[in-house]
Structure 1
Amino acid sequence: MNRSPQSPGHALVVGAGIIGLTTAWRLQRDGWRVTVVDRQHPGAGASGGNGAQLSYSYVQPLADPSIWRQLPKLLLAADSPLKFRLQADPHQWAWGLRFLAACRGSVSRDTTARLLALAAASRLAFDDLREAEQLDCDFSSTGKLVLYPDAASFDAARRQLDLQRALGGQPQTALTPAQCQDVEPALAHYAPRIAGGVHTPSECAADCLKVCLALYQRLADRGVRFELGRTVTGWVREGTRIIAVRTDAGDLQADQFVLAAGTASAGLGRALGLGVPVYPLKGYSITLPVPEAPGQAPQVSVTDIARKVVFARLGARLRVAGMAELVGDDTRVLPERIASLAATTGDVFPQLAQASDLGAWSGLRPATPTGWPLIGRAAGAPANLLLNTGHGALGFTLAMGSAERVAQALNSPD
């Protein structure tokens, strides 16, 4: 894309995770003068240790009718991948009620269709980014297997497969346990314990933190201004527009503003009188070294639906991530959750049971009740503010497509 002969103006992006950085890259490419502000270093939040899968074809939202059947077990089982800690927080209660209201077939189908379209655009844009920047990010395109524990969940998966096929998704195939083992030989021990799987040959994986750090370096080299270690505390308004963000180290002025602050977006939205329905879903990950002997660890990305755990190969490492805790802004790395991920890894891939260097991590995914992110101008917001937040577990997958939409909106009249 050709740059404008004259800069369209100064854009300030709040947030230096994968969403904020891809937005900054896209705007800088269009000729905008860009500032990025964040209280931490690039990729320090939910981007730092996420599941690493680029799930362009498997985008079924968490808000799905099947949640009602699973809810008692998910909430009450001691080893449940979902944990809900009630708090005296109206935002948590409002989000939870909206989430349950979204667990309907019609809502899930509509969200799936929209996510598939955004994911397809994101795949093309990320391919362009990787080619343009020659990113070293442990990228692979070895496909993905989603494993189902019983006939009921496998039947539901095949219905979802039919829906996504009708919506123009990438080719996917329902496989028997033996066929799953053929696709990924490292599942030899585990395959007899599942009912089947869905294989998507086109799915990819990459190290999101490496992408963030590479983008940060390239953008800084091209003149993008980074204000790191500065906490945004509010906004300075003049009439119907914002003229600056207020930080703990002074105000930062710009012409246009993009709120891409992950879970902090809700509070910063409230400061403007906006209801931003984003709530943190806490997740955990471990990153293991992979033995050199072949067949010890998967080459294909694997998702175990029963355990809500994903496995993604990153070069000589294996990223294992999962769980969803609605516990507010609690970023503690709880030993029992890390132990659960390690035990799951050993159960699915016994060859890795003795791994000791776990690279434990936790992060807060910014989720909306429906699973559809908030992108673009919002009703009641200042005329020069755009949102780019609420991507949940699909932030890495949807980042570049979302950045494209923000750029399109900024390049059009207010």
Structure 2
Amino acid sequence: MNIIVLGAGIAGLTTAYCLARDGHDVTVVDREHGPARGASYANGGQLSYSYVAPLAGPGALRDLPLWLLDRNSPLRFHPRLDPHQWRWCLQFLAACTGRQSRRATERLLDLSLYSRALLEEFVARTELDFSHSRTGKLVVYSSEKSFQGAVAQMRYQERFGCVQHAMDAAECLTIEPSLSRIRDRLVGGIFTPSEQAADCHRFCVGLEALLRAEPYTVKFAYGLAASRFVCDRERVLALETDQGAIEADAYVLAFGTGSRALAGTAGIDLPIYPLKGYSISVAVRAAAASPAVSVTDYARKIVYAPLGDRLRVAGMADIVGYGRDMDEQRLALLIREARAAFPDVSDYRQVEPWCGLRPATPTSMPILGPTKFPNLLLNVGHGALGFTLAMGSARVVGDLVAGRRPAISLQGFSLPSLAATSAGLVPAS
């Protein structure tokens, strides 16, 4: 089957990989001139398979007033004259219940653990160098209340196969001695030995090179701006671009935050809004001073990921629209926190700054699978979990295209108006 995948980020490239392995003729279309130029470029770097609880939850509802009043809070909201922004925010607030949060966590754990297994299979088959490490993740807490909440969540997740360990402050320092500079604010932590870290951009660059070669021979149409789907009542007929229309038997939309506008041309309303995130990458000048495991500061919502000879520091979730401009205050906050936590890693005078728009749904659940058109499928809305959920999401889409039953249930991952299964795709005659 001739299939167009829209998007050359982590979602699009892993989808292309799964489709090409099934023998399809795949073309990846992206307006950028290379892979992973959007949210996949310099994300947090943590593959957090056991930390997929949605942003919307009772805790977020409780903390929201304080976040909105604090200019240095991990979440910032700039209201705009955009009905979609307000509708998304109202849907987010509606999802901040314990019941919905637990249900979303269960479904996301199902997908994330499936993704982890598939990534391990991929790594065993290939020789990609993407600064991949399996040293685990330590989430540290500064208040007894938040720590006890994390312990309760840890015990809840045990039934789903998550292996995690609660630790006091001294044990946290044993796991990660480089945290000694902030020992005074440590109450405890949760350590997950199976968590990983990796460079998403390097993974995408390596995967693209793999896909260009035999036996996959995937084609890449870069610098092509898609404007709309051409549809009849039953299916998508073509994709209109700034360089003319292109046709395929099937289309997979994996365009990140651009997916909503393009889906709208086919009469499909996607509940996706960008959450703007920031990161800095610094060269490690003293390995002993840099964390060997991934570290998350829960109170500050900042993550630290060791990526070979670099340290990635990332955070923020700003609901500020579609602008890609760099907020120097947010970057300064990341540098200040990194310097306080790990002062000897770098002098932090030379950092690689980045910001990106993460395509998020109000529930943090990605949207996978069929639309009202049988030859248009979705792989969108992963928020900050794009790298973590990529392999599983791509395999689900590949299975649906082939008419196979996915290994995990699609309950909660489909558009609300659609059934959670697909009978497969049949090329147009």
TM tier, smaller: over 0.9
1:368 aligns with 2:361: yes
Counterpart residue type for residue 209 of structure 2: Q
Q: Is the 8 A contact 1:347 1:353 kept in 2?
A: no
Deviations along 1:256-291, one digit per CA (max 9) or x if unpaired, are 110000001111111111110111000000000112
1:199-278 equivalences in 2 (<5 Å): 199-222=191-214, 223-278=217-272
How far the C-alpha of 1:383 sits from its partner, in A, is 1.4
Please give the secondary structure, in 2, of the residue aligned with 1:189. helix
Identical aligned residues as a percent: 48
Matched, 1:172 2:164: yes
* Residue 397 (structure 2) aligns with: 406
- Give the distance between the partners of 1:334 and 1:204, measured in 2 at CA: 29
CA positional deviation for 1:53 = 0.4
1:289-340 deviation digits (Å, cap 9, x = unpaired) = 112x442110100001111110000000000010010011111112111111
Indicate conservation of the 8 Å contact 2:284/2:346, yes or no.
no
2:374 equivalent among 362, 383, 391: 383
User: TM-score, normalised to structure 2's length?
Assistant: 0.92
Corresponding residue to 2:302 among 309, 314, 327:
309
Task: Tell me: CA distance 1:353–1:343, structure 2 relative to 1, closer, same or farther (3 Å).
Answer: farther
The code of the aligned residue for 2:8 comes to A
Q: What does residue range 13-52 of structure 1 map to in structure 2 within 5 Å?
A: 13-40=5-32, 41-52=34-45
Q: Would you say 1:143 and 2:161 are equivalent positions?
A: no
Which SS does the other structure have where 1:351 is aligned?
Answer: coil
1:352: how far off?
3.3
Q: Distance in 2 between matches of 1:236 and 1:81?
A: 41
Q: CA deviation at 1:353?
A: 5.9
Equivalent residues, number: 402
Cα drift, residue 60 of structure 1: 1.3
> Structure 1: which 5+ runs fail to align?
1-8
Distance across 2 between alignment mates of 1:15 and 1:161: 35
Q: Deviations along 1:40-94, whole A, 9 cap, x unmatched?
A: 1210000000001000111111011101211111111021111101001111011
Alignment-mate amino acid for residue 228 of structure 2: G
Gaps of 5+ in 2: 404-423
Q: Does 1:396 align with 2:387?
A: yes
1:147 partner amino acid: V
C-alpha separation in 2, matches of 1:215 and 1:243 = 29
Match of 1:185 in 2: 177
For residues 314-329 of structure 1, the aligned pairs below 5 Å read 314-329=307-322
Q: Distance in 2 between matches of 1:135 and 1:191?
A: 37
Of 230-239 and 322-331, deviating more is 230-239
Q: Give the whole-Å Cα distance in 2 for the aligned partners of 1:201 and 1:314.
A: 17
The DSSP-based 3-state class of the residue aligned with 2:49 is coil
> Contact 1:147–1:198 (CA<8 Å) still a contact in 2?
yes
Deviation digits for residues 348-401 of structure 1 (CA, Å, limit 9, x no counterpart): 1122362211100000000000011001013xx211111000000100000000
List per-residue Cα deviations over 1:171-216 (Å, max 9, x = no partner).
1011111110000010011122122111001100110000111111
- d(CA) in 2 for partners of 1:46, 1:204: 19
**In 1, distance between residues paired with 2:171 and 2:288?**
16
How far, CA to CA, are the matches of 1:160 and 1:64 in structure 2? 12
Give, in angstroms, the shift of residue 31 of structure 1: 0.2
CA distance in 2 between counterparts of 1:101 and 1:160 reads: 21
* Structure 2 counterpart of 1:3: none
Is the partner of 1:137 in helix, strand or coil? coil
Deviations 1:11-62 (A, max 9, x none): 1101000000000011001100001100112100000000010001111110
Structure 1 segments (4+ residues) deviating >6 Å: none
Aligned twin of 2:116:
123
The one-letter amino acid of 1:180's match is C
Give the distance between the partners of 2:55 and 2:229, measured in 1 at CA: 33
After the TM superposition, which residues 277-296 of structure 1 pair with which residues of structure 2 at under 5 Å, given as runs?
277-291=271-285, 293-296=286-289
Report how far residue 122 of structure 1 moved: 0.5
- Match for 1:408: what amino acid? D
Q: CA RMSD in A?
A: 1.0
> What is the rounded CA distance, in whole Å, between the counterparts of 1:191 and 1:26 in structure 2?
45
Of residues 27-36 and 350-359 in structure 1, the stretch that sits farther from structure 2 once superposed is 350-359
- Where 1:360 maps in the other structure, the secondary structure is strand
- Say which SS state the counterpart of residue 235 (structure 1) adopts: strand
Report the TM-score when normalising by structure 1: 0.95
Equivalent residue of 1:295, what SS? helix
Which amino acid is 2:89 matched to?
G
Aligned equivalents of 2:237, 2:23: Cα separation in 1: 20
Aligned residue number for residue 70 of structure 2? 77
Q: Tell me, yes or no, if the aligned pair for 2:283 and 2:346 is still in contact at 8 Å.
A: no
- Counterparts of 1:227 and 1:355 in 2: how far apart (Å)? 38
Deviations along 1:222-278, one digit per CA (max 9) or x if unpaired, are 421111111110011133111211111111111011000000111111111111011
**DSSP-derived class of the 1:36 partner:** strand
Three-state SS of the structure 2 residue aligned to 1:160 is helix
- Distance in 2 between residues matched to 1:351 and 1:73, nearest whole Å: 32
* Equivalent residue, structure 1, for 2:417: none
